[in-house]
Structure 1
Amino acid sequence: MIADDMNLARRVSELASRFPEVWQDYQGWLRDIVGSRSVLSVRYPNWQAAIIFRWRLFYFVSYVAVVVFFKRCRKTLESLAAIDYRYILQRTATLLAVAALTLCGTAATTGILIAFYYQPAAMQAHESLSAIAHDISSGAVILSLHHVAGNGLIVVSLVQLVVMFLGREFLCSWFTGWISGICLTLAAMGLSWTAIVLSWDQTSFWRFKIELSIVGSIPFVGGALREVLSGGSGINSVTLQHMYALHSYVLAIAAIFLSVLHLGALILQEQHWKAEQQRFDLSKLGERFLRKSL
């Protein structure tokens, strides 16, 4: 039994020696545990001595494992703290701006294809969309791409605003990119809202009617906004034409312009920021060189 305990202690020693950051500090403790085996054999029966010895080995392994774990965690946290997260977030925001521009271009291209067959009239709108989906070659694919691109633009824009905020891109130096990102998000939401009305089914009709009543209840400007959106007192073909013009011309052109402006502003500001960081690093290097030379 003593031989088995010694083999177990040897395995523990080999395991602990794989972690040099703690082995130098705790190898003396392991030697004391191994040396106490003969004393335990004198004081206690063999089975009790084996239990006490193995318990001490288990306690040693557990203690060293905890120490190694926390030391590794500390090193990991120190390495993570050295990473420039602001640059990573800014780079991520730029990539998301590229994705937003791609989605905006996809939505615009598919929207132009849909516009060839869509009829913005109360009696023909829903039927024309149904004909595009079922009678036109690849019409269902084009409609699906248009919907996915529109919804994806909203998601990407919202995520990008969060990333830009975490990257402190709301400061004055990033003013153009920050404001254009907010406006792009609002334009994407407006496109999604007007697209629901353009489907002109029962759900969109009654939903738009409720929303018009909410808009009309806004103080001072509610009545004027309601007139602009509805084109009159009722919801009819004029209303649909207003929504079509707002969706296809005003909001779509604004979204394309804002996506291009947003991406350009982020790229220019990122290059300017990298140049400033490089100048800052060079100044630090010069200071260190002067200190060493003196």
Structure 2
Amino acid sequence: MSQKDVELAGKIARLISHFPEEWQEYQDWLRDIISSQSVLEKHHPTWQTTLIFRWRLFYFVIYVAGVIFFNQLLKKLKSFFWERGSWKAGIFSQRYAIVTQPILLDRYRYILQRTATLLAVAELTLGGIAAVTGILLAFYYRPTALGAYESLTMIVNEVAYGTLILSLHNIARNALIVLALIQIVVMFLGRQFLPSWLTGWISGIFLTLTAIGLSWSAIVLTWEQTGFWRFKLELSIVASIPLVGSALRDILSGGGGISSITLQHMYTLHSYVLAIAAILLSIIHLTALIFQEQNWKPEGTRFSFAKLCSESPSHEDSASI
């Protein structure tokens, strides 16, 4: 281990030691990172060992800093309400115990997992907006070489609220990509790549790829010069894939050059295959995160279909009413 790495680890340890509770909880993690340096040196070059070691330190600092920040925030809030009077403090203490009970397991991870669930809700909402506006655009759009550009021009200039609908469709499509990428990072930081989050993790990755595919398949649908030449360039990149490149290019373009058949193929891929896949993946992804989030709740507050059925009125009670 280089002298710089030793000094860096020492500075991090001294900084976190100012917070005794967090230092007591996470000091073993820091020791494991430092002790793993010797193992890395046996299997990796020096530059790669240094890179891995510093990345682990960086992740450790980000993780612990989030925990410290949230703990300090809770302490400030509790002291603030405590100073407002004993009866208010009593109410706050009860709410504090109820609300933070699932968070006490690991506050930082809970926040990230909760954020991932909220992002999944936003993704499903954006997918719904893109689907609805896409259906409205499909009433007027013509996927042909002669009609694509003219139909879009008509939508913008002649159809009522056509510009708004087209703008909403494009914004929802691009925002879905941004949120999907952000959620992948959030799920990674929240350790949602573990086996217990397998369904949510895999569906999130495929949702991100599907959102990118939706944007890519819409390149040529406007039938403008920029989209035309960009799509032609990307078709040549697809054709360079070993073994299947030429066949895949012919499937996308319809064989030969870019023509009305290409527009019809990309329109079908965009409007039916990828759009339906994005909606289904959004639903699966959100459902997986919601059900997994139940594990953070106390036993009495978890959602259960059996409990829901047992609480429903029986047929005899309904008849008597």
Do both proteins adopt the same fold according to a TM-score greater than 0.5, normalized to the shorter chain?
Answer: yes
Unaligned runs of 5+ in 1: 1-72, 280-294
Which of 85, 92, 108 lines up with 1:85 in the alignment? 108
User: 1:147 — aligned with what?
Assistant: 170
- Answer whether contact 2:121 2:286 (CA < 8 A) is retained: yes
C-alpha separation between the residues in 1 aligned to 2:146 and 2:171?
Answer: 26
**Deviation (angstroms), 1:278:** 9.2
The one-letter amino acid of 1:90's match is Q
User: 1:5 — aligned with what?
Assistant: none
Are 2:198 and 1:175 equivalent residues in the alignment?
yes
**Deviation (angstroms), 1:274:** 2.9
**Deviation (angstroms), 1:77:** 5.9
- Answer whether contact 2:156 2:163 (CA < 8 A) is retained: yes
The one-letter amino acid of 2:272's match is Y
The one-letter amino acid of 1:79's match is N
The one-letter amino acid of 1:94's match is T
User: 1:263 — aligned with what?
Assistant: 286
Max Rg structure? 1
How many percent of aligned residue pairs carry the same amino acid? 67
User: 2:80 — aligned with what?
Assistant: none
Are 2:213 and 1:213 equivalent residues in the alignment?
no
Q: Which moved more, 1:258-267 or 1:82-91?
A: 82-91
Which of 232, 254, 257 lines up with 1:231 in the alignment? 254
User: 2:316 — aligned with what?
Assistant: none
Aligned residue-pair number: 205
Look up the SS of the partner of 2:192 in the other structure.
coil
- Answer whether contact 2:70 2:107 (CA < 8 A) is retained: no
**Deviation (angstroms), 1:204:** 0.6
Look up the SS of the partner of 1:196 in the other structure.
coil
**Deviation (angstroms), 1:195:** 1.3
User: 1:222 — aligned with what?
Assistant: 245
C-alpha separation between the residues in 1 aligned to 2:141 and 2:269?
Answer: 15
C-alpha separation between the residues in 2 aligned to 1:275 and 1:182?
Answer: 30
Look up the SS of the partner of 1:118 in the other structure.
coil
User: 2:139 — aligned with what?
Assistant: 116
**Moved segments of 4+, more than 6 Å:** 276-279
Q: 1:78 to 1:252 in 2, by over 3 A?
A: closer
**Deviation (angstroms), 1:80:** 4.4
**Deviation (angstroms), 1:276:** 7.5
C-alpha separation between the residues in 2 aligned to 1:102 and 1:79?
Answer: 32
Q: 1:80 to 1:221 in 2, by over 3 A?
A: farther
Residue deviations 1:197-244 (CA, integer Å, cap 9, x gap) = 111111111111110011001001101110110001111000000000
Higher normalized helix content (fraction of residues): 1
Unaligned runs of 5+ in 2: 1-64, 74-103, 303-321
Which of 244, 254, 257 lines up with 2:267 in the alignment? 244
Give the CA RMSD over aligned residues.
Answer: 2.2
Are 2:226 and 1:203 equivalent residues in the alignment?
yes
TM-score (norm 2): 0.61
**Deviation (angstroms), 1:272:** 2.6
User: 2:209 — aligned with what?
Assistant: 186
C-alpha separation between the residues in 2 aligned to 1:258 and 1:160?
Answer: 14
Residues 23-172 of structure 1 aligned to structure 2 (within 5 Å): 79-80=71-72, 84-172=107-195
C-alpha separation between the residues in 2 aligned to 1:77 and 1:253?
Answer: 41
**Deviation (angstroms), 1:183:** 0.4
C-alpha separation between the residues in 1 aligned to 2:229 and 2:272?
Answer: 24
